[in-house]
Amino acid sequence: MPDDHAASDLSADQLDRLIQLDELLRTEGDSGHVSSDLAGARRVLKALHAQRPAADATIPPPPKNIPLHIGRYEIYGLLGVGGFAVVYRARDDLLKRDVAIKIPLPYRLVNPDARHRFLREAQTAAKLDHPHIVPAYEAGEDGPMPYIAYAYCSGPTLATWLQQNGPFAPQDAARLVLNLADAVGYSHEQGVLHRDIKPSNVLLFPRTRAPADATFPYIPRLTDFGLAKLAETVHQDTRSSMILGTPLYMAPEQIEMDTGEFVQETDVYGLGGILYETISGQPPVQGGSLLQVMQTIQEGRLPRLSDVKPDVPEELSVICSKALSADPADRYRTAIQLRDDLQRYLEGRPIAARMPGTVKRIARFITAPARMWEAGGYVIFANVIIAFWAAGWLAAIALGVPIAEGTRINDILLETCGLICAHFVCAGIGWAIIQGRAWAAIASALIALVFVTRTLVILLRISHEPLQSIFPNERARDVVLSMITVVFGIQILLCLFAWLAIRKQTRLAQRRRPPAEPAR
């Protein structure tokens, strides 16, 4: 399995080719004739999709030749280089102010989608005017080179500040995230989803006149709307909208979605991650391979804030847990709701956050995607074991082992061989359950029901079938049949859970699927 370190070994061209291959695999898979090998390849490629941001996030070497001017801006020096763009510090002599000029890396402009993404960032930034969003002054082109001029920030990013100074006091963290939540709520009202909220995308602008009671000498402002999506175009460009974001801070739906459709709750999750890290000093998800991180996020196995930081107020821990819920329906529906709850906490009023009740948590557990793997694995394991046990019984009779004494192989050969074949077929159906086939879950449950019914009929003496040719000892027969009843009873339960999980995933996929393009 590839991990997060392997991502940096993949070039952008290689990843683009892998993505194109995945499109072909998806087309074949949708036709219903995808082979197990191709299905396995798709799983690997989906993991590589998630690694693409990690590869993009690797910082290339600074450009060798720093331009003297971009447009009317005089370049002073390099501020930073990312996987997509380079940022220079510049001077606007016309308005007598410093700015941060962002331009795409030259090799990125070869890809039309990358250029479109940069221009979309400029379009997005132009829509937003909020005290906690980094303002964009101008977007233009210097020859073939597009650029965006942002307000220059002489302070660090929130990520850098946390590394150097450690976590915030709970009250200060709540105030900071409250301001960011207000900014995100404003951007949502403008039809803009950020999709990559994390500490490194929060710039800290030094306060010129700090209030007397201010304990934090910076104004936090959200930046980098490079992954932002305008809500009115949420269904467009779906082929190029692969899994975007930074893995440690991605919401579960960002990992699961293939269409790139996001919701406001996705940004709420990012705000919850910032609240968690500013208080605890660590992100909600710790290290490990990329696939381990993805699995932890999808299953919602994040440690509660109060477990990591025992002295944190319980109300703040509940707010954080709600914002970081694995299911978007369990989070705050809007960033404004999160802002309002943080305001209640700061004012000492009762918060509105309530975690899901026991019944809802059980329902979430039953319909989790992991139930498909558990049910399929159990069906495969149980049926293969029973098939080999039956084959071993035939071998014992043929070899004259004392345990099978008195049983004639001709009396049970045909029926036992049929059962062995049936159990191997069931094992194959178990693999289809892992692939997310609803029919396989129902078929496996029905087959198990037939076995359970047959064994119960004999155990309850409804039928007088003695099975003496197989079990001369009636007590031994009852013990074996009781074990089989338990095994297949568990199979029925797990397959029903898997069926519910598959139905839920299918409904989510249908809801996220973009509308069909009109015929030309």
CATH for 81: 3.30.200.20
pLDDT at 172 exceeding the cut of 90: yes
Q: What pLDDT score does 403 carry?
A: 58
422 and 300 fall within a common domain: no
Range name among 178-182, 240-244, 453-457 with the lowest pLDDT average: 240-244
Q: Which is more confident, 389 or 37?
A: 389
Over the range 296-323, which residues count as b (16 or more CB within 10 Å of their CB) and which as e? bbbeeebebbbebbeebbebbbbbbbbb
- With a CB cutoff of 8 Å and minimum separation 6, the contacts of 84 are 56, 104, 105, 108, 114, 117, 118, 226
Q: Which is more confident, 270 or 19?
A: 270
Is 365 contained in some domain?
no
115 and 191 fall within a common domain: no
Q: How many domains does the chain have?
A: 4
| Residue 201 near residue 224 (C-beta atoms within 8 A) | yes
Q: Which is more confident, 218 or 362?
A: 218
Average pLDDT in the chain:
77
pLDDT at 38 exceeding the cut of 70: no
Nearest CA to 283 among 158, 181, 187, 370? 158
Task: Bin 101: left if φ > 0, else alpha if -120 < ψ < 50, else beta.
Answer: beta
268 and 284 fall within a common domain: yes
342 and 235 fall within a common domain: yes
**Which tens digit of pLDDT belongs to each residue from 98-131?**
999 998 887 777 677 777 778 777 777 778 899 9
| Domain final residue, candidates 355, 389, 411 | 355
The Cα 375–Cα 492 span in angstroms is 9
92 and 208 fall within a common domain: no
Mean pLDDT to the nearest integer, 424-441: 91
Domain region containing 234: 158-355
Q: Which is more confident, 313 or 461?
A: 313
Catalytic residue among 22, 182, 196, 340: 196
411 and 483 fall within a common domain: yes
Is 364 contained in some domain?
no
Reported pTM: 0.65
The Cα 304–Cα 223 span in angstroms is 28
301 and 383 fall within a common domain: no
pLDDT at 455 exceeding the cut of 70: yes
120 and 12 fall within a common domain: no
Is 419 contained in some domain?
yes
Distance of CA 485 to the CA centre of its chain: 38
The Cα 16–Cα 392 span in angstroms is 51
| Residue 420 near residue 390 (C-beta atoms within 8 A) | yes
Q: What pLDDT score does 26 carry?
A: 52
Kindly indicate the confidence band of residue 400, based on its pLDDT and cuts at 50, 70 and 90.
Answer: low
**Which tens digit of pLDDT belongs to each residue from 458-482?**
788 776 554 444 555 677 677 878 8
Is 228 contained in some domain?
yes
Instruction: Supply the CATH number for residue 216's domain.
Output: 1.10.510.10
| Domain final residue, candidates 297, 324, 355 | 355
Residue 196 bears catalytic tag: yes
**Which tens digit of pLDDT belongs to each residue from 326-370?**
888 889 999 999 999 999 999 999 999 876 667 777 887 888 888
Q: What pLDDT score does 240 carry?
A: 35
Is 64 contained in some domain?
no
Q: What share of the chain in percent tops pLDDT 90?
A: 33
pLDDT at 187 exceeding the cut of 80: yes
91 has which bridge partners? 74, 98
pLDDT at 239 exceeding the cut of 60: no
Kindly indicate the confidence band of residue 238, based on its pLDDT and cuts at 50, 70 and 90.
Answer: very low
Is 427 contained in some domain?
yes
Range name among 29-33, 92-96, 166-170, 381-385 with the lowest pLDDT average: 29-33
334 and 378 fall within a common domain: no
348 and 436 fall within a common domain: no
Residue 115 burial (CB count, 10 A): 15
Tell me 231's DSSP state: G
DSSP 71-117: TTEEEEEEEEE-SSEEEEEEEETTTTEEEEEEEE-GGGGGSHHHHHH
Is 518 contained in some domain?
no
pLDDT at 483 exceeding the cut of 60: yes
Q: Which two tokens stand for residue 337?
A: 């709701």
Q: What pLDDT score does 30 carry?
A: 45
Kindly indicate the confidence band of residue 216, based on its pLDDT and cuts at 50, 70 and 90.
Answer: confident
Is 145 contained in some domain?
yes
332 and 200 fall within a common domain: yes
Distance of CA 135 to the CA centre of its chain: 30
- With a CB cutoff of 8 Å and minimum separation 6, the contacts of 240 are 113
**Which tens digit of pLDDT belongs to each residue from 276-286?**
999 999 998 87
| Domain final residue, candidates 325, 355, 385 | 355
Q: What pLDDT score does 280 carry?
A: 93
302 and 404 fall within a common domain: no
Kindly indicate the confidence band of residue 28, based on its pLDDT and cuts at 50, 70 and 90.
Answer: very low
Q: What pLDDT score does 32 carry?
A: 44
pLDDT at 199 exceeding the cut of 90: yes
The Cα 178–Cα 374 span in angstroms is 41
pLDDT at 412 exceeding the cut of 90: no
